[in-house]
Amino acid sequence: MLAVVQQTLGITAPVFSMLFVGVALKRLGWIDTAFINTASELVFKGTMPTLLFLGIVQADLRTALQPGLIGYFLAATVVCFLVGWGWAILRCPVTDRGIYTQGAFRGNNGIIGLALATSMYGAYGLSVGGILGGVVILSYNTLSAIVLAIYSPNAKTDPWSIAKSIITNPLIIGVLAAIPVAYFQLQLPAWLITSGEYFAQMTLPLALICIGGTLSLTSLRESSRMAISASLMKVFWLPLLATFGAWLCGFRNAELAILFLYFASPTAAASFVMARAVNGNHELAAAIIVITTLAAVVTTNLGLFVLQWAGWI
């Protein structure tokens, strides 16, 4: 058992330690809000689309593109969304239900989930994670826009606005651009691949540092029962439900582990941005991000330990 614990810590510790590096750098004054905003935009618009593009281009698409895995992930995401929404109706004031629901189901898969999948399974984890990343972007943005629109009257809820935000998303563009290149096995110049790898290698450390720099202990101290409840849904109940469902459907080994890592990821920082954009309770959104990020250090390791101890991954 000790070997399993050491292995899971070896996978998760480097990722989560970068979050705490971001916290320290912000406190020391080495990075500020302007840097975090600029770096986050660079990651979103440039380095992460490049990382996803290269991960798919260099992968065996016939191996990474698994309809059953993608179909289950999408179905489980919708179920988790509905469970979180239903619980929000029971637990929250009307004005906070959209924020609660988004915080309970929207994971930071593009950064935390992808980093852990890559750390654990290398190129295969990056390839499968990149494919799932496209599904994540489509499903999370659409479902979040819907639930925030219902409870936040300032949100743009018309079909064109939602469709435009999806079509112009750089991460989706990176994934879609890579699929034909990988499928037809087009050969890109070696210098272009190398330059792209240099650029893409900035993604995970820079993004993790930025997330760490945005964490606020003040929002944690001021969090309410709603924040704790949503956080428990995000890092415990919904990952348990989704991973158990995946096991019942026959997923094992790398596929089951990657599904777990994606469902167990802490709440995405984008939920805070969307909450502010619709004039929602962004303090609640920030508190959920802080709590889930800290709690995921424990729950992710515990989940991997259980899955490895049971011999399922």
Residue 303 in tokens = 């989940």
Most confident of 26-35, 50-59, 147-156, 283-292: 26-35
Give the pLDDT band (50/70/90) at residue 156. Answer: low
pTM of the predicted structure, to 2 decimals: 0.80
The total number of structural domains in the chain stands at 1
Helix (H) or strand (E) holding 249: none
- Could you tell me the CATH number of the domain that includes residue 24? 1.20.1530.20
pLDDT of residue 221 exceeding 80: no
Least confident range of 28-32, 113-117, 196-200:
113-117
Taking only the tens place, the pLDDT of each residue in 37-58 is: 899 889 888 998 898 888 878 7
Main-chain phi, psi angles of 201, to 5 degrees: -65, -15
Task: Compute the mean pLDDT over every residue in the chain, rounded to the nearest whole number.
Answer: 86
The rounded percent of the chain whose pLDDT value lies above 90 is 38
Say what the pLDDT of residue 235 is.
Answer: 96
What is d(CA 33, CA 25) in angstroms, rounded to the nearest whole number? 11
Report how far residue 17's alpha carbon sits from residue 209's, in angstroms, rounded to the nearest whole number: 9
Q: What is the pLDDT of residue 112?
A: 84
Q: Which of 129-133, 160-164, 243-247 holds the top average pLDDT? A: 243-247
**What are the CA-CA distances from residue 107 to residues 2, 73, 138, 151, 261 (Å)?**
29, 13, 13, 20, 10
Judge whether residue 70 has pLDDT over 80: yes
Long-range contacts of 84-91 (CB under 8 A, 24+ apart): 84/230, 84/233, 84/238, 85/147, 87/229, 87/233, 88/230, 91/226, 91/229
Q: pLDDT at residue 252 above 90? A: yes
258, 129 Cβ separation under 8 angstroms:
yes
Range of the domain at 62: 2-309
Give the residue with greater pLDDT, 176 vs 222: 176
Q: Does position 13 have pLDDT exceeding 70, yes or no?
A: yes
Q: Are 53 and 118 within 8 A, CB to CB?
A: no
Dist. CA 238–CA 167, nearest whole Å: 28
- pLDDT for residue 264 is more than 70: yes
pLDDT of residue 20 exceeding 90, the answer is: no
